[in-house]
Amino acid sequence: MNSQKFPLKGGINSMTLKLKILSIALLIILGAACSPAIQANEARTLTVMTHDSFTASEDVIRQFESDHNATIDFVRSGDTGSALNQAILSKENPLADVLFGVDNSFLGRALEEGIFEPYDSPLLDDISEEFKLAPNNFALPVDYGDVCINYDKTFLEENNLPVPRSLEELSNPQYAGLLVTENPATSSPGLAFLMATIAQFGEEGYLEFWSALVDNGLVVVNDWETAYYTNFSGSSGQGPQPFVVSYGSSPAAEVYFSEDPAEGAPTASIIGPNTCFRQIEFVGILNGTENRDLAEAWVDFMLSVPFQDDIPLQMFVFPVNSNAKLPQVFLDTVQIPDQPATLPIERINQNREAWIEAWTETVLE
Amino acid sequence: LKQKHHQWFRNPTWRAALFWLLPAAFLGYFFYQPLVALFNLLFSPTWDFSLANLNWRKIWDPLWFTILQAGLSTLLTLIIGLPGAWLFARFAFPGKKILKMLTTLPFILPTVVVAAGLNALLGPRGWVNLGLIALLNLESAPIQFLNTFGAILTAHVFYNTTIIIRVVSNAWSQQNIRLQHAATVLGASPWQTFKEVTLPLLRPSILSATLLVFLFNFTSFGVVLMLGGPQFATLEVEIYIQALHMLNLPLASILSIIQLIFTLGITVGYNQLAGMREFAITPRSQEIGLRKPRNLLERVVIIVLIISLFALLVSPLASLVMRSFVKLEANRGERGVVQRGLTLRYYRELGTNRRGALFYVPPIMAARNSFMFAIITIIITLFLGLLVAYALKQHTPLNAFLDPLLMLPLGASAITLGLGFIIVFNRPPFSNLAFPILLPIAHSLVALPFVVRTLGPALGNIPESLRNAARVLGAKPLQVWREIDLPLITPAILVATIFALTISLGEFGASIFLSRPQYPTLPVAIFRYISQPGALNYGQALAMSTILMVVCAGGILLIEQLRLPGRDLF
């Protein structure tokens, strides 16, 4: 090349000048972003790690902050799995003081990893025993919800189909091709529904039931968004299937987020023994926090009535505190099953992977 | 001593090393450090993982499928993209600028929204199927699109055609048209001219674009997950399953190491092909080669091309935009009747915080955050990209070693990198407050290969004789760069800027781990709406997606309007 004969001396010099200017610019940007903000009256910061579905009313959170002269820094990252992974990976050097959002399908793993410190909150007295799954209060229940099958009311009316009363009935030919569910390997409601079938049919019978569902034209997709908005006929996506694995509170959300709430819910849940799987979400103080007192105050706050009252309309799940009140739209539209399916957390932790693999072989292959 | 100093500069290896210094430090610190730290932790004895219990089928099946779908997708993208590049490089037609901008928009859309758009178009109750049912008097939907291999391929073409169009048409339009004229005068047929003159000159840019498209398809995640369904899993999908649902991080890491090894192999293979020959031909103004279609055949071909681009790339976008203005809920009890009205409800709703929610974000703030991150990404990648492009111009074995390492972030799993970031950058100076800066840095890691692969061929095309002429005429070094290099690479810089902008605006994988609720971007806001039931949420997600497209379109048009040196030079 010519460059051998005509050294690029000039090119280099001009580049280094540009380089200097640009690196100064880059440093300024980095510096501006990294410089600590000046904080008024020494408010303490509590870091709360959680998942993307976490939300709350601004007033409620601000009240806590002013009562405790604290700032809450929320780190919301991905779904429950990614939040838990972050806590596990950073357990030597915790990213946060508190983790909220581990549910009973992951709680066993969280306890096994020893990421939490126990805390006997005085507010536990207001919470029913059925929710307290963690031994020694390493994690405290905050809310619960049910993964249920929603159905499209209009479709069933127009086609003169009765509402199924049990899981078994879904394998009847009259419901052929009408149910869409999520892959338990990629979706949390999908896994919850798989566990409902294990609670109902036992380890020896659940795969047989799934085979029957497959023979009856079961549709499986990977994520809740696709199942609900692409496949489900009762949602705005107006897909082909009138039955979808979703949440017991979805009909309430359909009313609350509808263009004309007076019309009532277009969907409802199948409520029968073991048709719904109960998910309970927990909060825990992360092992090694330097703000233990503030973390305790925050956990108490999450279990107290003001926060618990705020839960339903923010996250569309139910408060565990028995003194909390439900909003009208919930009282009107949400059915709470008398006998939800549950499984012990240790059993879930030991078998999660094996169940999913067995399911994959039966349903997908 | 002074003489020695000059010797040092003349050595291309040292020169390249100097150019590489900052980019390599950036990659080392923000890419290799977190990955190595993660793998180190996961293969430490505390994690109790052994290769012996490994189910090799879990690796082999997704690997084979990943290669298969990436190869086919890339081939199809080339089949659509190359004629598209020819169209934009050689012809003037009304609405050209708008069409080119529209073909870029798919690139930025979150998969969940694209799935909604494709469903509205091709789903069981999509417009195409409804139309065919009405037209042919059918019982059920004739087109089965969702959850098929075809859906994966279609979506990849939809997403990535813009890469081929942008990179190749830029090089094509800068080709000196006189060369083709000379060939014609010498008696070459149009096909011979194309084969012997045009194609060899386009080779570097076609190879670059093909590599980028292949690597994008190779690490495809959302498309396979949402449009392919549970029957299909790429390595990236399997990493997601193992890491976030099975909590089997060691297996996720093995999969991601395999993904990295293949990326490295592909890039090394590319370098073998691309490094063979390079022609430096005086580039020409982009406008000189442009012409109107000459005869009926050309006119027909062009119209067919424009229609295909519209059908493939623009119609899913249009169906999304339309749905954001259409009332989604038919009145209860009248569901059979298609009863729809126009509405602005979803847009109005975006501006209200009904529940007084803590993390509510007005669309204007989300757009501002997205833009802010995009601008930082553009600054970082252009600066580092130019340095790398100059480094790659030096003839030294150092490049063969460093270049593939630069491309590796394209083949890295976003989940793995995100987890690596968590364990490395969780203490000062990367406290929570400073964390937002990591998001544009992660975007830059993905955008940098695009910027380098765009600038590289452009720099390679500048004949050294031009610079020498300038020097002989007394130009100072900086002057040479400003008067020769800069004007000639300006079109490539614009293309690179558009890539950095679109990658940053649309990126979602790293955002899962690195976004902070204080700074939600547009894709994050879209996801917040569509992950909840209810017509208003669905409508708002589509409205927010429309805003994302408008913001991106605005950004592209703005960049194309920039009066940089070289635009009016010729």
Q: What is the pLDDT of residue B352?
A: 84
**For residue A301, what are the CA distances in angstroms to A67, A75, A291, A294?**
11, 18, 15, 10
CB B85 within 8 A of CB B143: no
Interface test with B, best of A64, A107, A238, A365 (most B CBs within 10 A): A238
Task: Give dist(CA A310, CA A55) in Å, integer.
Answer: 10
The separation between CA B249 and the C-alpha centre of its own chain, rounded to angstroms, equals 28
Contact B477 A12 (CB under 8 A): yes
Query: Looking at residue A76, what is its pLDDT?
Result: 79
**570 residues of chain B, pLDDT tens digit each:** 445 556 666 788 888 888 999 999 999 999 999 999 888 888 877 776 666 677 788 889 999 999 999 999 999 999 999 999 999 998 988 888 899 899 999 988 888 788 878 887 887 777 788 888 888 888 777 888 888 999 999 999 999 999 999 889 988 887 777 788 888 888 888 888 888 888 888 888 899 899 999 998 998 888 998 888 899 999 999 998 988 888 888 888 889 999 999 999 998 888 888 765 555 566 666 666 678 888 888 899 999 999 999 988 898 888 888 888 887 655 444 444 445 678 888 898 888 887 788 888 888 888 999 999 999 999 999 999 999 999 988 888 888 888 888 889 888 888 888 888 877 887 767 765 567 788 899 999 989 998 998 888 788 778 888 888 888 998 888 888 888 888 888 888 998 999 999 999 887 777 767 767 778 888 888 888 888 888 888 889 999 999 999 989 988 888 887 766 554 443
Residues 291-330, chain A, touching B (beta carbon < 8 A)? 313-314, 316
CB contact under 8 A, A228 and B355: no
A47 — contact with chain B (CB < 8 Å)? yes
Q: B231: nearest CA in chain A?
A: A364
Global pTM value: 0.85
Q: Between A135 and A39, where is the model more confident?
A: A135
Q: How far apart are the C-alpha atoms of B371 and B505, rounded to whole Å?
A: 7
Q: Summarize pLDDT for A236-260 with one digit per residue, the tens.
A: 877 889 999 999 999 999 988 887 7
Q: Distance of CA A100 to CAs B112, B267, B315, B520, Å?
A: 26, 42, 42, 20
Measured distance CA(A172)–CA(A213) in Å, rounded: 9
Yes or no, beta carbons of B464 and A84 under 8 Å apart: no
From the list B496, B488, B482, B487, the residue with the least C-alpha distance to B565 is: B487
| Residues in chain B within 8 Å Cβ distance of A228 | 533
Contact A9 B477 (CB under 8 A): yes
**What is the predicted pLDDT for the residue at A125?**
95
Tell me the pLDDT tens digit for each residue of A306-335: 999 999 999 999 999 999 999 988 888 888
Q: Is the dihedral of CA B83, B84, B85, B90 positive or negative?
A: positive
Whole-angstrom CA distances from B356 to A32, A53, A55, B4, B122 are 31, 16, 10, 70, 37
pLDDT tens, position by position, A204-227 = 999 999 999 999 999 999 999 989
Shortest Cα distance, chain B CAs vs residue A38, angstroms: 11
Structure tokens at A65: 């902050």
CB contact under 8 A, A14 and B477: yes
Cross-chain residue pair B464–A236, CB shorter than 8 Å: no
Among the listed ranges A154-158, A186-190, B208-212, B520-524, which one has the minimum average pLDDT value? B520-524
Query: What distance in Å separates residue B207's CA from the closest CA in chain A?
Result: 22
A positions 244-283 inside 8 Å of B (CB): 246-247, 250, 253-254, 256-260, 263-264, 266
The answer to ipTM > 0.85 is no
Q: Which of A114-118, A230-234, B252-256 has the highest mean pLDDT?
A: A114-118
Question: Which of B485, B531, B535 comes nearest A259 by C-beta?
Answer: B535
- Band (pLDDT 50/70/90 cuts) for residue A39 is very low
Q: Considering CB atoms only, which of B244, B477, B539 is closest to A82?
A: B244
**Residue A24 has what pLDDT?**
56
A258 vs B468, B485, B534: nearest CB:
B534
Least confident of A130-144, A169-183, B306-320: B306-320
Report the pLDDT value the prediction gives residue A295, as an integer from 0 to 100.
97
The answer to whether B429 contacts A34, with C-beta atoms less than 8 Å apart, is yes
Which of B144, B152, B245, B435 to probe the A interface (max A CBs under 10 A)?
B245
Give A173-209 as a DSSP string. Answer: GGGTT-EEEE-TTT-HHHHHHHHHHHHHHHHHHHHHH
Q: What are phi and psi of A211, to 5 degrees?
A: -60, -40
Looking at beta carbons, which residues of chain B come within 8 Å of A14? 476-482
pLDDT at A38 over 80: no
Give the nearest partner residue to B481 out of A1, A14, A185, using CB atoms.
A14
Nearest by CB to residue A237, choosing from B332, B436, B538, is B538
Q: Residue B320: closest CA among chain A residues belongs to which residue? A: A237
Measured between alpha carbons, how far is A226 from B421 in angstroms, rounded to an integer? 29
Q: Report CA dihedral (B524, B529, B531, B533) to the nearest 10 degrees.
A: 180
**Nearest chain A CA: its distance from B56 CA (Å):** 14
Contact B533 A235 (CB under 8 A): yes
